[in-house]
Amino acid sequence: MTQRGAQMPAMQVPEYPALASNVELIGEMQETGFKERQWLVRRGDRYLQLTELLYRVAEQADGKSTHEEMAEGVTRSTDWLVSAENVEQLLRSRLMPLGIVASAQATIPDEVLAAERAPSPLRVNGRARLLGPNAIDPITKVLQILFAPFVLVPALLAVAFAHGWLYLVHGLGGAMRDVLYSPALIFAVLGVLFIAGIFHEFGHAAALRYGGGRARGMGFGFYLVYPALYTDTTENYRLGRWARVRTDLGGFYFHLIFATGIVALYLLTGWEFLLVTVLLINVGIVYQCMPFVRFDGYWALADLTGIPDFFSQMGAFLRSLVPIRGWKGPRLPNLKPWVKGVFAAYMIITVPVLSLLLLRLITRLPVIATIAWYSLLNQAAGFSRALDSGDFLGMAASFGQTLILGLQMLGIAYLLYSLGRTLTGAIWKRIAAPRQPEGESP
């Protein structure tokens, strides 16, 4: 809405429109949860979802065709009767503001870029990329063979046999005793878990490579209150449903293979403590299956239903489900009935669960901060005693525990900062929005 007499700055439509230099037309999205066909465009490192009409107009933007020629091209290739005025309106109102078609002005409005770059506690933030595609591709080219059926089936049978033997025959009593009586082994366990985590990420990348995509990078960041490894599998959107799900679950598959290798290493060496890592890997897999936040289980559920991302689509889904007058913002295209039911059920369950967890974190924050402070003091005292006695192992233990505790507190602080920034931004936007004069229509 604007005040009477105010004018929105109009974007000048080029006489011969062309795609922006960083835009690639991907094609139709495969096996989605939408009733109507949806189309995919890549702009830089982001994928954008378009209707077929917008996509067909973008196809005609070759830098050589006039608006009239573009309209004729769209009319020939679709069931729509499109005029030059229609093309100009779609370019000005949709494709140019999204940065898909180039403009003589800034191709993407600042508010759009700000919304895309805004930190969210429900995605990996503070990311630092450690490996690029050139380092990942040679490895995934080899590892992708693990998804071939003639390898996958025997591998899963070996995983089932190794875990059955561990939990039903051998047990974990000896491994737990070793770690409890020799605390220094905790560092060895953590080291093995870190290597397992890297292998997990290569599972996602190899699954994507097997399906015909390419991982864009791997790195480190913070998710919620914990440090986390991540793999950029954005190209997964280009694949069909089951190929996407395979990418989502590829990390679990590789984690289980790694755990089976640990069992084999134990049989060769007799090092009982190694079996603790198998238990922790399995617990981590169960934890990652929770669909309430953007863990692997969340993405698998999203790809099974054919919705790109539940959290980013919640507002649009509600606006399309409950058309309240004056509620501005995008709406989702029509969903298939069963997908709409899954999405509604997911929101009904997830929103209260996350709200209760956040409330519990906030109410217990003074207790958490107090415990953390005294723990840090104890670790500092322990480090000092180990330094005086020349106990390098004790110094390493104190330093490691201090680092882990510090990272957790840093993660909590960043989570609260992100939530506070989002809330204050929304309130300020509401307060600062210009009021429409009485009698003025939007």
pLDDT tens digits, 46-60 = 778 888 888 999 989
| Nearest-5° Cα angle at 137, 233 to 219 | 50
One-letter amino acid for residue 254 of the chain: F
Burial class from Cβ neighbours inside 10 Å (0-12, 13-18, 19+) for residue 402 reads middle
* Under 8 Å between Cβ of 78 and 90: no
Looking at the structure, tell me whether residues 254 and 135 fall in a common domain. Answer: yes
User: Is there a single domain that holds both residue 187 and residue 252?
Assistant: yes
Residue 285's closest CA among 197, 348, 393? 197
The reply to whether 161 and 232 lie within a common domain is: yes
Rounded CA-CA distance 219/136 in Å is: 11
Identify the domain containing residue 432 by its residue range.
371-442
Report the percent of the chain where pLDDT is more than 70. 81
Per-residue pLDDT tens over the stretch 9-41: 456 788 888 888 888 888 888 888 888 888 888
Q: How many CA atoms lie within 13 A of 361 on its CB side?
A: 16
pLDDT tens-digit map of 276-319: 999 999 999 998 998 888 889 999 999 999 888 888 888 888 88
Q: What is the pLDDT of residues 121-171, one digit of tens each?
A: 556 555 678 888 999 999 999 999 999 999 999 999 999 999 999 999 998
Residues ≥6 apart with Cβ < 8 Å to 372: 405, 408, 409
Largest separation between any pair of C-alpha atoms in the chain? 85
Task: Name beta bridge partners: 221.
Answer: 228
Domain end point (choices 68, 99, 117): 117
Q: Which of 101, 117, 133 is at the close of a domain? A: 117
What pLDDT was estimated at residue 2? Answer: 31
- 260 and 406 inside one domain: no
160-201 per-position pLDDT tens digit? 999 999 999 998 888 888 887 777 788 888 889 999 999 999
Based on the fold, state whether residues 287 and 434 are members of the same structural domain: no
- For the record, the structure tokens of 288 come out as 């990652």
If DSSP codes are grouped into helix, strand and coil, which group holds residue 217?
A: strand
Strand 46-50 relative to strand 125-131, pairing: unpaired
The average pLDDT across 407-417 equals: 72
Kindly report which listed range (111-115, 247-251, 272-276) carries the lowest average pLDDT score.
111-115
How many domains would you assign to the chain? 3
